[in-house]
């Protein structure tokens, strides 16, 4: 059913999956840059394809709404929410020979701006494993949100402008919604703002936010994605404090690496415990791991799973 050619492909229909070089046909699980390219035909959920075209221009696409099967040659394709960002999707491929679930980037914990992940049963699981190491355990979500809100309030108490550093797609929109829920007014870097407009157009309200302009008025939280500097947006004499929001903060990321004064461990990826939970829910007979440490497959084999790095699938099995 699948093979590896510098990325995952469904063999029967020659469909590339999240390959970031141009392909005749490709499924795009979500619109982060390292999961897509200017394909001749891109398949994805309606929201992902809107973001895909925003970021890469007008391209030929075919929509795969959640839970709406598409029969294509010998395969039936169905997307399910992945809980990662707007439009993010898992792809279930079914045939007479069996089934394969590709997770893409996912998380099982709640999200303020993405549908909760759904994990159907499959014979083969190809899973994202960014945090596939037992030391990667995220703190409780409520605690991370409380830490973020407390840091922002403390900035205002000290007369400093809080500047949140978070990825332009996904994390920035969730942070905006969370802070807006607490009564804060948010101004977003233009690259974040254009993505947030797509969120709003897709029915995901982000609350009280606007487009950041020079100079930023006082009394607002600024959201500026890396690698952009906040300094061009702030008057020279105004104090500011930077807060990085990243799942890597939970693994002891130094502040200098986060390029921020503080780091909050709020992630949009499954941690090690959620990866194991996903396997239990899917109940596959084989597992292929990607986008994470190769040792994760070793960890799984010690637990009795038939697991391999995806990159070795040519040598392990011909499917």
**For residue 73, what is the DSSP state?**
T
For Cα atoms 202, 128, 283, give the angle at the middle one, nearest 5 degrees: 100
The CATH code for residues 141-264 is 3.40.50.10890
pLDDT band at 257 (very low <50, low <70, confident <90, very high): low
Strand partners of residue 101: 92, 125
What six digits make up the tokens of 86? 């707007």
**At residue 55, does pLDDT exceed 70?**
yes
Strand partners of residue 244: 165, 263
Strand partners of residue 161: 240
What does the alpha-carbon distance between residue 174 and residue 30 come to, in Å, rounded to a whole number?
16
pLDDT for position 311 = 85
- Beta strand 240-245 pairing with 161-165: parallel
Write down the domain spans for the chain.
2-135+269-316, 141-264
What does the alpha-carbon distance between residue 91 and residue 175 come to, in Å, rounded to a whole number?
27
What topology is assigned to 2-135+269-316 in CATH? Metallo-beta-lactamase; Chain A (3.60.15)
Higher local confidence (pLDDT), 258 or 35: 35
What does the alpha-carbon distance between residue 66 and residue 44 come to, in Å, rounded to a whole number?
9
pLDDT for position 319 = 38
Higher local confidence (pLDDT), 257 or 87: 87
């Amino acid at each position: 059913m699948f093979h590896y050619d510098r990325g995952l492909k469904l063999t029967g229909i020659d469909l590339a999956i999240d390959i970031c070089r141009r392909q005749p046909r490709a499924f795009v699980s979500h619109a982060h840059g390292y999961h897509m390219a200017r394909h001749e035909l891109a398949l994805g959920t309606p929201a992902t394809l809107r973001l895909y075209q925003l970021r890469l221009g007008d391209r030929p696409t075919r929509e795969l709404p959640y839970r709406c099967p598409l029969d294509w040659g010998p395969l039936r394709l169905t997307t399910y929410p992945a809980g990662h960002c707007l439009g993010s999707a898992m792809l279930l491929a079914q045939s007479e020979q069996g089934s394969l679930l590709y997770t893409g980037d996912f998380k099982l914990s709640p999200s303020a701006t993405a549908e909760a992940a759904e994990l159907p049963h499959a014979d083969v699981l190809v899973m994202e494993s960014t945090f596939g190491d037992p030391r990667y355990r995220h703190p409780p979500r409520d605690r991370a949100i409380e830490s973020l809100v407390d840091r922002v309030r403390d900035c205002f108490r000290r007369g400093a402008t809080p500047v949140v550093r978070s990825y332009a797609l996904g994390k920035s929109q969730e942070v905006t919604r969370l802070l807006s829920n607490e009564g804060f007014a948010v101004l977003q870097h233009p690259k974040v703002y254009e993505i947030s407009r797509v969120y709003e157009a897709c029915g995901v309200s982000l609350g009280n936010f606007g487009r950041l302009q020079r100079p930023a008025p006082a009394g607002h939280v600024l959201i500026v994605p890396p690698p952009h500097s906040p300094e061009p947006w702030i008057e020279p004499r105004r104090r500011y404090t930077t807060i990085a929001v990243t799942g890597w903060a939970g693994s002891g990321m130094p502040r200098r690496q986060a390029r921020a004064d503080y780091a909050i461990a709020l992630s949009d990826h499954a941690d090690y415990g959620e990866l194991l939970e996903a396997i239990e829910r899917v109940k596959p007979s084989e597992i292929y791991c990607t986008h994470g440490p190769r040792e994760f497959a070793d960890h799984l084999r010690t637990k009795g799973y038939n697991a391999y790095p995806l990159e070795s699938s040519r040598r392990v099995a011909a499917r």
